[in-house]
Amino acid sequence: MPIYEYLCTKCEKEFELMRPFNKADKPAKCPRCNSEAHKRISNFASKTGSYLQSPVKRFRK
């Protein structure tokens, strides 16, 4: 399962979550405040262009 980065819309906490590919775009729950967090796509898009929809982690290891 790929790991995605999420950013909480309320407290702006960043965290990583392992999810199935088909659920990656759905909001996750922030581990700190339990609010809705959305997948971060901006930094990976700037590194790779609009290449493939791949997990962020793939380009770091």
Residues that bind Zn ion (CB under 5 A): 8, 10-11, 13, 30, 32-33, 35
Q: Shortest Cβ distance from residue 33 to Zn ion (Å)?
A: 3
Question: Can you list the alpha helix ranges (DSSP code H) found in 1-61?
Answer: 42-48
Q: Cβ distance 12 to 5 under 8 Å?
A: no
**Between 12 and 53, CB nearer to Zn ion:** 12
Say how far apart CA 3 and CA 57 lie, in whole Å.
Answer: 6
The whole-angstrom distance between residue 8's C-alpha and the CA centroid of its chain comes to 10
**Between 11 and 45, CB nearer to Zn ion:** 11
Q: Shortest Cβ distance from residue 14 to Zn ion (Å)?
A: 10
**Between 12 and 25, CB nearer to Zn ion:** 12
